[in-house]
Structure 1
């Protein structure tokens, strides 16, 4: 994974967010059930 010049730029972190969103949606129901 290579970070561009704009490391803390919102646009560069957007694909990361889109990548982790399904993971979050996948792990949220068991977490809510556990809590």
Structure 2
């Protein structure tokens, strides 16, 4: 697969990144910390 956007802190306050797996499926991962 390919990383489209590396995981990083974003302006909306979450940790976000996206990738395309070897089957061509797009994945977007968003993590919200409960602090």
Higher-Rg structure is: 1
Q: TM-score, normalised by structure 1?
A: 0.21
More strand by share: 2
More helix by share: 1
Q: TM-score, normalised by structure 2?
A: 0.21
Q: Which has the higher contact order (CA 8 A, sep 6+)?
A: 2
